Structure 1
Amino acid sequence: MVVLIADDHALFRYGIKLALESLYNDVTIIQASGADEARKLAHETEGLDLILLDLQMPGLNGISELKQYIDTLPDVPVVIVSGSRQRSTIRAAIDAGARGFILKSSNGEILKHVLPLVLSGELYIPAQAVAAEELEAEYEGSPLEESSDFNPDFKSLTPRETQVLKLLTLGYSNKEIARSLGMLEGTVKVHVKSIMKKLGVNNRTQAAIAANRSFFRQNSTTPA
């Protein structure tokens, strides 16, 4: 596997390099400290499999320039590695053509999960980057009551419904979900309706809030 790491911080590139080499026996790492150098290396490197790209470095000024920049790269999966946890930034990166988004605060082991997923053609989006409080603030007027009676059954969701729910949580429309998952928009509508029924919520926003609350509840529990 051939991976290009593009980041202007040498120490960070070194850390990613060590993490990849510890996970894979046969991996070739190429490094770039700026966007122009990364583009040049991407086009010159034969058999390039993946690009790990920082959002802020010389030649690339954040999310506003990302789509235009990705369009200049070869047809290779691009995964953003960033310190930003903002939902809007993550979604904008995916909309710009990135195949994944890894938080710089993540453990190096996350690469073991993300890389096979992205290389197989799937998307990777960090669920922990989307807080329930942030989602509720964006969708005022659609509250979700907290009560002991409310216990959504996420285990009843099919694998496909779970995929739809993850994108729905990020604020994707039915059309965007259909495009991302290679489905008909009408099929997505059926899945969304089924999800709301199984979770016992009244609308898609409440389904997303419930999903986020469930995630944070599970991850805030300290093992005995």
Structure 2
Amino acid sequence: MKILVVDDHALVREGLRQVLKGLDEQVEVLEAPHCARAFELAALHPDLDLVLLDYHLPDMNGLEALGIFGKKHPELPIVMLSGSVNPQIMRQVLARGAAGFVTKAGMSDDLLSVLQRVLAGEVYVPAEVLAAPGTPALEGSHGRAPPQLTPRQEEVLYLLLDGRSNKDISEILQLADETTKSHVSGILRAFRVQTRVQAVLAASHYGYTKSAPSI
């Protein structure tokens, strides 16, 4: 398992390195003090499993960084870290494609629980966001009719909700890799999003769950 920690404080990075051993004693932790270095490391390590990204960084904020990660590494899950407990920021971060949002004031066990869920393919939405009245799961999705998906696209979507990779989906549905990519791209267009994580969030908003029909 390989995880990239992006934070401008060396003590925070070292603390997270120790905490992450709770996921796997052999976890390899890469460290970046700013986004520029984080993008370099992500390009050098295409086998990254997860990124822990601080919201406040010297060279750009978390929302900008998420946009760049989303374009360059759309399947890489990003969990945002912040000292702020602001539901509006949380909603913006999730809407931009983060797989989760964790406050630095939380306990280590809570962080590990969130990361385990994200690594299993889930999107973690904090209780503060769920409790906020009248909050759509994705910016701009409120009031829009559900997208019209083909039966095959729905099968692919349920597997995305289950955290399956494109390779897994191709094997399960007996599709060519390019065909699977085409269906995933069609789903992103239908939900008007750019990443798989955003598609999962949007699908949840429209009532899709992991309880898929038999495939």
TM value normalised by structure 1 = 0.59
Deviations 1:162-200 (A, max 9, x none): xxxxx8689974758995264694x57xxxxxxxxxxxx
Q: Could you say which residue in structure 1 is the equivalent of 2:201?
A: 180
CA contact (8 A) 2:95 2:137 kept: no
Q: CA deviation at 1:119?
A: 1.5
How big is each residue's C-alpha offset from its partner over 1:24-52, in whole Å with a ceiling of 9 and x where there is no partner? 22200000001000000011014210000
Structure 1: which amino acid aligns with 2:96?
A
Q: CA deviation at 1:110?
A: 1.6
- Report Cα offsets for 1:95-140 as digits up to 9, x if no partner: 111111011101111232112211222111221x3596xx46xx7x
Change (3 A) 1:46 1:179: closer
Aligned equivalent of 1:68: 67
**1:54 to 2:75 alignment:** no
Given that 2:55 and 2:61 are in contact with CA atoms closer than 8 Å, whether structure 1 keeps it comes out as yes
SS of residue paired to 1:109:
helix
Amino acid at match of 1:102: V
Give the TM-score normalised by the residue count of structure 2: 0.61
Q: Taking structure 1 as reference, are residues 116 and 178 closer, same or farther at Cα in structure 2, changes over 3 Å only?
A: same
Letter in 2 for 1:69: I
Deviation at 1:70, TM superposition (A): 2.4
Query: Which structure 1 residue ranges, 5 or more long, are not aligned?
Result: 140-166, 189-224
Between the aligned partners of 1:184 and 1:91, the Cα distance in structure 2 is 13
1:197-216 matched pairs, under 5 angstroms: none
Identity of aligned residues (%): 33
Q: Give ranges in structure 2 of 5+ residues lacking alignment.
A: 147-190, 192-197, 209-215
- The secondary structure found in structure 1 opposite 2:122 is coil
Alignment of 1:60-209 (within 5 A): 60-63=60-63, 65-74=64-73, 75-127=75-127, 129-130=128-129, 135=132, 173=142, 180=201, 182=203, 185=206
Q: Quick one: structure 1 residues 10 and 76, their matched pair in 2 at CA, closer, same or farther if it must change by over 3 Å?
A: same
Root mean square deviation of aligned Cα:
3.1
Equivalent residue for 2:177?
A: none
Q: Which has the higher contact order (CA 8 A, sep 6+)?
A: 2
User: Which protein is bigger by CA-based radius of gyration?
Assistant: 1
Q: Residue 68 of structure 2 aligns to which amino acid in structure 1?
A: Y
TM-superposed deviation, 1:56: 1.2
CA 1:28/1:22 → structure 2, altered by over 3 Å: closer, same or farther? Answer: same
Aligned partner letter, 1:104: K
Corresponding position of 1:34: 34
Give distance in 2, aligned partners of 1:31 and 1:79.
15
Instruction: Give the Cα–Cα distance (whole angstroms) in 1 for the partners of residues 142 and 65 of structure 2.
Output: 22
Question: How many pairs does the alignment contain?
Answer: 154
Shift of 1:94: 0.7
Q: Which residue of structure 2 aligns with residue 161 of structure 1? A: none
| Aligned-partner SS, 1:30 | strand
